[in-house]
C-alpha cells in the first residue's frame, strides 16, 4: 500500500513562528479595559446592595414574628383567623389580617392591635369578606411607638 498525501507537503509549523507575528501592542489598551471592568464591578456591587435593602425592607419589621395557627371559612362573608405573634413585651404592635379567594384576590382585610405587656400573643379574630375566601393569613406586623 502506498502513502497518499492530500494537499501540499508542509515542512514548518502550521500556525507560524513567533517571527511571523507583529509585536504586541502596548498595555495602554488593557489599562482602559481594566478601569472599565472595575467601574462595572462597583456598579454591580451597589445595585446588589440596593436590591438587598429593598428585599429586606419589603419583608417588614422582623421584630414581630407571626404564625397562622388556623383559619376557618365560616360563611361566604366571614373568616376567622387564629394566629400567634411574638414581639417585645414593652411595645405594642399592629398586624394586618388578610383574606384571599381562590384566585389569590384580596377579599377582606383588618388591622388588629397587639397590646403592650405581653411578648407572646395568641388571638382569634373575625374578618368580614366581600366574597367567599379560601385562605386567611397575617400580611404584616409592625411595632408601634
Contact present, 114 and 87 (Cβ < 8 Å): yes
- Which cell numbers in the block locate residue 64? 414581630
Query: pLDDT of 32-88, one tens digit each?
Result: 788 889 999 999 999 999 998 887 776 655 678 899 999 999 999 999 999 999 999
- pLDDT score at 60: 54
Cβ contacts of 22 within 8 Å, gap of 6 or more = none
3-state secondary structure of 115: coil
Query: pLDDT of 8-43, one tens digit each?
Result: 666 766 777 777 777 766 655 667 788 889 999 999
DSSP letters for 34-63: HHHHHHHHHHHHHHHHHHHHHHHHHT--TT
DSSP strands (E only) in 28-144: 65-75, 78-86, 92-100, 106-114, 120-128, 135-144
Give the residue from 110, 92, 104 showing the smallest Cα distance to 133: 104
pTM of the model: 0.58
Pairing relation of β-strands 135-144 and 120-128?
unpaired
Query: Cα–Cα distance between 143 and 121 in angstroms, integer?
Result: 14
Query: Cα–Cα distance between 64 and 89 in angstroms, integer?
Result: 11
Domain covering 65-144, topology: Immunoglobulin-like (2.60.40)
Question: What are the domain boundaries of the chain?
Answer: 18-58, 65-144
- At 7, is the pLDDT very low, low, confident or very high (cuts 50, 70, 90)? low
Amino acid at each position: 500500500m502506498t502513502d497518499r498525501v492530500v494537499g501540499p507537503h508542509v515542512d514548518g509549523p502550521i500556525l507560524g513562528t513567533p517571527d511571523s507575528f507583529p509585536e504586541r501592542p502596548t498595555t495602554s489598551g488593557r489599562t482602559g479595559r481594566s478601569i472599565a471592568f472595575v467601574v462595572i464591578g462597583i456598579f454591580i456591587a451597589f445595585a446588589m446592595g440596593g436590591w438587598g435593602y429593598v428585599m429586606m425592607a419589603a419583608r417588614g419589621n422582623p421584630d414581630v414574628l407571626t404564625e397562622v395557627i388556623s383559619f376557618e371559612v365560616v360563611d361566604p362573608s366571614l373568616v376567622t383567623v387564629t394566629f400567634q405573634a411574638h414581639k417585645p413585651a414593652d411595645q405594642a404592635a399592629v398586624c394586618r389580617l388578610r383574606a384571599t379567594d381562590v384566585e389569590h384576590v384580596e377579599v377582606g382585610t383588618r388591622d388588629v392591635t397587639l397590646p403592650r405587656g405581653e411578648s407572646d400573643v395568641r388571638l382569634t379574630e373575625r374578618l368580614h369578606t366581600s366574597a367567599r375566601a379560601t385562605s386567611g393569613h397575617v400580611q404584616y406586623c409592625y411595632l408601634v411607638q
